[in-house]
Structure 1
Amino acid sequence: MTFARDDHWVWDFWIADDGQRYHLFYLHAPTSLGDERLRHRNARIGHAVSSDLRSWQDLGPVLTPGAPGEFDQTAVWTGCVVPGPDGVWRMFYTGSRFPSDASAANIETVGVATSRDLHHWQAARVPVVTADPRWYETLPDGTWREEAWRDPWVFADPHGEGWHMLITARAKTGDGDDRGVIGHAVSPDLDHWEVRPPLSAPGAGFAHLEVPQLVAVEGNDLLLFSCDGPALAGGRAGGRGGVWQLPVAAQTGPFDPAAATLLVDDALYAGRIVHDRSGSPVLLAFENGRGDAFAGRISDPIPVRWDADRGALQLVAALPAGAEVHA
């Protein structure tokens, strides 16, 4: 069964695996808002657990926005959870601050919360990393509706040299509709972070590369990200968006999103690859819906495999109604 909450929309999510249960952390907002476009200003992070990625026990909210004046005062958005060598789980998440109720402009910043058990979280309420204007577009540039600095994905350096964070960001230069890049920060210890130049170049056809995830499938490293149709630019403008895949030569980049191909269209969004208890890779994504109906729930796991002939992932099971596979 899909994961859904009565009277709430559910969308972006991330998963932590403690070896016995999968912990789903998800964004949600009440349908009583009436207009699903208001969900972003009202997002909270919830928690559910499962042993099989199908049957979920919802445990309710674990993180809400901060106090007025804090970087996450309006809403808390997408992140990731990683176990540290000190036995502490860290949830890196996006804090959103809308300076005005009358404007869609917002400032996004990455923060952190910590936990010993994945159930009880303490948010530091101070930014971990912010967009560095040397390399990244910021709100005063006036090019875009937001200061994009969100969706952190944290992973250990493959050579044991600290940690890396991938971030949905926008470049300082380039066509205003085509500045989407993978932002980058590094840390020796998960506590102290340094922003670095982006790991990709603008001009790849994406206004933003959302919810990035690095994952290995059958020994092949891939970068997954999402970009919907209205945010496509350049030669991709007017096409179908959704969940995109990009085989990469090195986990630490550089990346070339111009070579990305569509895995599944945007009836599904914010896709994540997870390995089930058999070790098989599956795709989970939130069901975006079609037309005026926003579905607002998370799909069942969809098996995937590596297609060696194409050098790409292939979905090998039926999709939710309305979604299409792209080969």
Structure 2
Amino acid sequence: MAGVLDSVNQRTQLVGQNRLELLLFRLKGKQIYGINVFKVKEVLQCPKLSSIPNSRPMVKGVAHIRGETIPIIDLAMSIRLPGIGREDLATCFVIITEYNRKTQGFLVAGVDRIVNMNWEDILPPPKGAGKDVYLTAVTRIDDKLVEIIDVEKILSEVSPLEESVTEELRSRSESRAPGLKPVLVVDDSSVARRQIERCLTTIGMEVICRNDGKQALDYLKEITADGSKATDHLCLIISDVEMPEMDGYTLVTRCKSDEAIKGVYIMLHTSLSGVFNKAMVQKVGADDFMAKFSPDELAERVMEIVDGLQ
């Protein structure tokens, strides 16, 4: 499993095809979970852990891996399931991931395999699941339900990010011209949508939210059905990459091929990071890319973009 990641060139071939690779794993019991391979740096047998005084219960400790000190989070405990006991650590695995510019390891009971899937087969959680559910999507593989965990929600609870825009940027935003068109924010994570909306409303932007690429494209077609252009209604689209039914790369490709929509500026804003994203952004024709999540960076970039479009 140490060689879980393919080369960048091979993986970028999935871009624009609405496909993804899922790493399947187990926590406790028979339930199978999935995580996008793009977020996985390495999978290894659980290394020796050093405890962290006064840390949250789900943080099992830190591991020293390839020159980095990486926090190891008990994924089961993070989603309110029984955690993994220290006596079981030797048989467990750690999935080293990179989210929001930070590296962390998720402790899991077992790792299964990698599957190549179409985003159309990745569906939103059932509507009756409730607001506190730790899922962004579900799918079926070999007639078994696979749950895709909302890692951004977990990390916001384990290690909360700063979500407020600085006073200096707020002051700058107050001097800008009123009457700006709304920003369309597309993200399947409720936590990410809240973070982005809070950031943008602080600098005086109106925000419209949609949960995935399909919803966003349906909305864009709806507002342009009268013959108008998307730019008549919106100043900017900010889209996540990983989303059920239609991913962000496919959304960009579809938008840029539609005469009524293609003129609107699209920024991909994602917890995925690494050099391969630049190649992907160029391939699908997005106008910009930013790694999540720095409220000041996002606010400043949005003000620059919007001011440049006026």
Structure number with greater CO (CA < 8 Å, separation at least 6) is 2
TM-score normalized by the length of structure 1:
0.27
Which of the two has greater strand per residue? 1
Which of the two has greater helix per residue? 2
Structure number with larger C-alpha Rg: 2
